[in-house]
């Protein structure tokens, strides 16, 4: 069948409802990958910015090499996020922010677009790589989400690597926590009430990865230490399927970064997919609408890709660390705006 015949059949199938019109007329790539290292401030120390670019480039290259070797999207998502969790430059795993009690509670989720299988963990305190524990929740239990002590106990049963809380500490995260904590204590003394819309965090952290593999399967994953000085026991959007993570081979995969409470309220990750499924929006239109119309300015961003390999990296914060590549030669890394 030549190109003209393929085009003719596409038009016919669209007309009778068998193909979504928003995906036709586009060249499908063999594979694609997109990564984020958190939304937030564009004012990043030059040395930190250079280091983040170097890290994101390395992890993007890892993902591309795995995809070239025909690895499945789930494998790539887990492998890339594990690297981000091990990197102290990002708010996940080693480098996670501090909660109000001076400790670390980690969240993660992963989803398979083939059948909507998913797994997540919330409030874990000893697991070195929460994204791997989330994948085991998906594959080795009948549940979707395990939290706190139950999740840590499951990790022990699996023999996953566990670490002391001190492993997650970094001086940079500690200094940020002390600054935020001091500011909030001062506000309490002055009996001021400052809403989220009036004063937003300058760094929202979180890491994520979305992948389309050679088989046409999409997977998405997200991992985070949460918000600096968050209340003990707080859970954001990262371990909530449909809020911070979503993947469906029929539409797209999404990973979010931002103020999780608002991603949960608006089911942000799922909303992108739903707009594509029911409104027939393109990936770009859906992503822009959710980030710039549903969410208020400064609330966060997403990375996403659809089933033909289109990539979106949309945010309404001052900046977002992000990287993307595909089989057609695209390879880009950005930090800040």
Percentage of the chain exceeding pLDDT 70: 87
The alpha helices in the chain, defined as continuous H runs, are: 3-15, 46-68, 73-86, 130-140, 148-158, 171-189, 260-265, 268-278, 283-289
pLDDT digits 0-9 by tens, 2-58: 433 433 333 333 433 444 445 543 578 999 999 999 998 666 788 989 999 999 999
Q: How far apart are CA 203 and CA 121, in angstroms?
A: 22
Asked if the model's pLDDT at residue 155 lies above 90, the reply is: yes
For the segment(s) 31-334, the CATH number from 3.60.20.30, 1.10.579.10, 3.40.50.150, 3.30.70.270 is: 3.60.20.30
* Catalytic center residues: 206
pLDDT of residue 279: 97
Mean pLDDT to the nearest integer, 61-89? 98
Asked if the model's pLDDT at residue 160 lies above 50, the reply is: yes
* Contacts for 294 with CB less than 8 Å, ≥ 6 apart: 266, 268, 271
**Which sequence spans correspond to the domains of the chain?**
1-28, 31-334
Which of the four pLDDT bands, split at 50, 70 and 90, describes residue 332? Answer: very high
pLDDT of residue 235: 97
Q: How far apart are CA 60 and CA 110, in angstroms?
A: 18
Backbone angles phi, psi at 303, to 5 degrees: -115, 145
CA angle at residue 182 from 181 to 188, to 5 degrees? Answer: 90
Query: What tokens appear for 207 in the block?
Result: 């890491």
pLDDT of residue 45: 83
pLDDT digits 0-9 by tens, 288-328: 999 999 999 999 999 999 999 999 999 999 999 999 999 99
pLDDT of residue 20: 47
Which of the four pLDDT bands, split at 50, 70 and 90, describes residue 196? Answer: very low
Cα–Cα separations (whole angstroms), residue 181 to 45, 101, 227, 335: 22, 10, 12, 27
Mean pLDDT to the nearest integer, 73-82? 98
pLDDT of residue 1: 43
Model-level pTM greater than 0.75? yes
Supply the mean pLDDT for the chain: 89
Residue 279's CB is within 10 A of a number of other CB atoms, namely 12
pLDDT of residue 199: 52
């Amino acid at each position: 069948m030549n190109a003209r015949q393929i085009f003719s059949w596409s038009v016919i199938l669209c007309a009778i409802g068998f193909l979504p019109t928003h995906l036709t007329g586009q060249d499908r790539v063999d594979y694609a990958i997109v990564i984020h290292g958190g939304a937030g401030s564009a004012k990043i120390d030059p040395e930190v910015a250079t280091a983040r670019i170097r890290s994101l480039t390395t992890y993007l290259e890892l993902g591309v090499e795995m995809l070239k070797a025909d690895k499945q999207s789930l494998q790539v998502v887990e492998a890339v996020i594990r690297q981000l969790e091990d990197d102290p430059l990002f708010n996940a795993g080693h480098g996670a922010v501090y909660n109000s009690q001076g400790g670390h509670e980690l969240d993660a989720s992963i989803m398979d677009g083939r059948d909507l299988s998913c797994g997540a963990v919330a409030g874990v305190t000893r697991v070195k790589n929460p994204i791997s524990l989330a994948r085991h929740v998906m594959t080795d239990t009948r549940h979707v989400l395990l939290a706190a002590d139950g999740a840590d106990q499951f990790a022990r049963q699996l023999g996953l690597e566990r670490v002391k809380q001190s492993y997650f500490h970094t001086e940079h995260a500690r200094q940020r926590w002390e600054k935020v904590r001091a500011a909030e204590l001062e506000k309490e003394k002055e009996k001021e009430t400052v809403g989220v819309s009036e004063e937003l965090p300058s760094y929202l952290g979180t890491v994520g990865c979305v992948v389309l593999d050679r088989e046409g399967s999409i997977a998405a994953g997200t991992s985070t230490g949460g918000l600096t000085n968050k209340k003990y026991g707080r859970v954001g959007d990262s371990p909530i399927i449909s809020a911070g993570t979503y993947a469906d081979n029929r539409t797209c995969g999404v990973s979010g970064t931002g103020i999780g409470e608002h991603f949960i309220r608006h089911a942000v990750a799922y909303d992108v997919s739903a707009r594509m499924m029911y409104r027939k929006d393109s990936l770009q239109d859906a992503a822009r609408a959710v980030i710039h119309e549903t969410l208020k300015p400064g609330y966060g961003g997403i990375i996403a890709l659809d089933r033909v390999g289109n990539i979106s990296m949309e945010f309404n914060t001052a900046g977002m660390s992000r990287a993307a590549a595909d089989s057609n030669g695209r390879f880009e890394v950005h930090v800040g705006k």
